Structure 1
Amino acid sequence: MLFEETIAKIGELDKEAQARARRRQDALIKPMGSLGMLEDVAIKIAGITGETMPWLEKKAVITMAGDHGIAREGVSAASQEVTPQMVRGFLNGGAAINVLTRHAGARVVCVDMGMAKVVDDPRLVVRRIGPGTNNIAEGPAMTREQARAAVEAGIEIATEEIRGGTQLLATGDMGIGNTTPSTAILAAFTGFPVPLLTGKGTGLNPEGVQRKAQLIEKALAVNTPDPRDGLDVLAKVGGFEIGGLAGVILGAAASRVPVVIDGFISGAAAMIARSLAPRAVDYMIASHLSEEPGHRIMLTWLGVEPMLHMRMRLGEGTGAALAFTIIDAALKIVREMATFEEAGVSDEGLH
């Protein structure tokens, strides 16, 4: 019963640790609140970890790959052949996510959650639920049992990473066509009009975007996902990698480890996680605002604020890896900056 046990373990943030962290911030040689989100992030991490001055040295991006039956409908400018090709690029260290994780002093853990083609490489974590999902314009993406299995695989991977000493996790994705199920998930939970939420993904032209929106509307009409049931939404219009990433978020929250959410696909996974366990949001740190038009609505629904506005829309975990460097800076401020008392500086007028 890993699914239920994990959700049951997700508790409230440590409010005493947050109060101590706030007092520490207010004692540093600066006007109160003047470092904005750097202060907020450090206080949130204190609440997650229970430590006033935490240091999260060991970091990893869990990049999960999966294919989608809806891709056969032409919802992406790229072909499905690109999914395994990019996974090989991740494993060989040449993709954007590899560059940015190296820059942040982090690792990439690449997982096959259900690509159409098998990649035979010992460096790849294999947790295949199936060879890609079914076409959501014709019926459910997967069975409810497969949805549950995908979430539990993500929980297990997060738990293994944390047992190995990882202190900060992030979500990343790879899967041609996966902005389509992500948009369907967003529409299912929010009820917003699909055309308002639908973007160009890897580079569709306006006609392609319109057709993509029509297919998403068809998928929602055919499947009628229940927004009160996260597993139902995942099973009917989701993806194997989206379910796996939702599991990573739940596993991190259950272990009181912060998890950085990447862009639009990771955001869809976060919506599934929040639906399954509302407290999981407390353990999420939103990395950036994607260029996908529905992402701002997604983050508002989640109740999280993105740290970065960089016009990024690549996925892979790139925004989250970049956010690692901001989180490092926020925690260094708490640990290394002097207090008014230590520096012999008057705090008159600053509090």
Structure 2
Amino acid sequence: MDQTRIAPPSPAVHAQALERLAGLATPAGALGRVGEVGAWLAAAQGEVPPRPLTDVRLVVLAGDHGVAAHGVSAYPSAVTEAMVRTIVAGRAGVSALAAAHGVDVTVLDVAVDADLSDLPAAVTARKLRRGSGAIHLEDALTRDEAERSLALGAELAGELVDDGAQLLMTGDLGIGNTTVAAALVAATLGLPADEVTGRGTGIDDDGWARKRDVVAAALVRAEGRTSDPVEVLTALGSADLATATGFLVEASRRGVPVLLDGLMSVACAVVAQAMAPGAAAWWLAGHRSTEPAQEHALKSLGLEPLLDLGMRLGEGSGAVAALPVLRSGIAVLRDVALLSEILPG
């Protein structure tokens, strides 16, 4: 992929938005991050005040991971297939949140290790493979598969932008994916397994130790290959996470903001930023997850989450839950009076 540095949202428009924010009929700084987010969105949209967010899209990318067979999760990989079907039926956790907040949800089978051909073609037509390799034993993907995954993500983002999406989100679905995401963060940022391994779906101490050992072995196996983001995805990623990475790069390149979710989307963001310097200027962090790797990734990206609610569901749920903060930021810049309008003379 082209590694040309990506320009940020308009500094000039951002300055205009901050000037309007400072002139509102509110005490200085009283709106806190709500006002800051509104100004950021104005810069991303290129106008003050920013337009209301009426077209928000979430793409949930589903795929299985070979590490799931090695005791790193509290649940079997069969749950991935079941949850794809649940999202299609509109009954998943993220489905309820999206319905409440007006978000359009699409789920794609990128690499689920199951036959989902009975589902609509829109869900299955872009499948790249069944599952991804167990990263402590073998590469997750071939180099060609990693590149095709990145291209798929770029294609998906481009289609949504062309269709009028104003704000994008990615969601994840796949047992074992926190192990893979932790390895991506560790390899990209040069961190040890102990510092990035979390409890994922709720594993006990023995499960955590197994998971840490898998991440550590994967990092050893990938030594010497971590300076190339595509090689990192080949060795330690998965088809679904590589697709999310390509999605994030293309959204930034097209100048459309992205609201990130938890560990998986932020791990992909770290790789995307390495692949396309400057891309992170187009992202906001929706929420702080309970996974330690996310904290390291957020720090490296210079992002502070909008919410800290102890969530660890995935599926894009934290990003969707944070959407009202963005809409609030827009509302205050659009609808609050200026102090100059209400004071006499």
Common fold, TM-score beyond 0.5? yes
Provide the secondary structure at the position in 2 that maps to 1:295. Answer: helix
**Is 1:61 paired with 2:58?**
yes
Deviates more, 1:119-128 or 1:41-50: 119-128
Check 1:32–1:228 CA distance in 2 against 1; reply closer, same or farther (3 A cut). farther
Contact 2:116-2:124 at 8 Å conserved across structures: no
**Corresponding position: 1:306 with 2:305:** yes
Q: 1:297 and 1:153, CA in 2 relative to 1: closer, same or farther beyond 3 A?
A: same
CA distance in 2, matches of 1:228, 1:176: 27
What letter corresponds to residue 137 of structure 1 in structure 2?
H
Aligned equivalents of 2:173, 2:310: Cα separation in 1: 19
Q: 1:74-116: per-residue Cα shift (whole Å, max 9, x none)?
A: 2111111010100000010001111111111111111111111
**Match of 1:36, as an amino acid?**
G
1:167 positional shift: 0.7
Q: Is the 8 A contact 1:167 1:257 kept in 2?
A: yes
SS in 2 for 1:76: coil
Alignment of structure 1 residues 25-36 onto 2, 5 Å: 25-36=21-32
Contact 1:68/1:177 (<8 A) preserved? yes
Does structure 1 retain, via aligned residues, the 8 Å contact 2:140–2:236? yes
How far the C-alpha of 1:33 sits from its partner, in A, is: 2.2
After TM superposition, the structure 1 = structure 2 runs for residues 217-236 of structure 1, keeping only pairs within 5 Å, are 217-224=216-223, 226-236=225-235
Aligned pairs (5 A) from 1:1-351: 3-4=1-2, 8=4, 10-55=6-51, 56-120=53-117, 121-122=119-120, 123-124=122-123, 126-224=125-223, 226-344=225-343
CA distance in 1, matches of 2:6, 2:44: 11
CA distance in 2, matches of 1:51, 1:84: 42
Change (3 A) 1:222 1:47: same
| Contact residue 9 and residue 254 of structure 1 kept, 8 A | no
Distance in 1 of aligned mates of 2:242 and 2:88: 22
SS at match of 2:292: coil
Name the CA distance, whole Å, in 2 between partners of 1:47 and 1:94: 36
Q: Which amino acid aligns with 2:29?
A: G
* Counterpart-to-counterpart distance in 2, 1:149 and 1:213: 29
User: Aligned-pair distance for 1:331?
Assistant: 0.6
For 1:82 and 1:244, the matched residues in 2 are separated by 21
| Maintained 8 Å contact 1:225/1:237 | no
Task: Specify the code of the residue in structure 2 equivalent to 1:281.
Answer: A
Most deviating of 219-228 and 84-93: 219-228
| Paired AA for residue 158 in structure 1 | A
Q: Output the CA distance in 2 between the equivalents of 1:345 and 1:214.
A: 69
How far the C-alpha of 1:233 sits from its partner, in A, is: 0.9
How far does residue 191 in structure 1 lie from its aligned partner after superposition? 2.2
Aligned CA RMSD, in angstroms, stands at: 1.5
Equivalent residue letter for 1:35: L
Contact map agreement 2:267 2:294 (CA 8 A) in 1: no
Structure 2 residue ranges without an equivalent (≥5): none
Question: What is the TM-score with the length of structure 2 in the denominator?
Answer: 0.95
> What TM-score, normalized to structure 1?
0.94
Q: Deviations over 1:199-258 (max 9, x none)?
A: 111121101100110111111111226333211111110111111111111121111111
**Number of residues paired by the alignment?**
342
Shift in Å, 1:20: 0.8
Q: CA deviation at 1:129?
A: 1.8
Give 3-state SS (helix, strand or coil) of 1:320's partner.
helix
Runs of 4+ aligned residues of structure 1 deviating over 4 Å after TM superposition are none
Separation (CA, whole Å) in 1 of partners of 2:285 and 2:125: 27
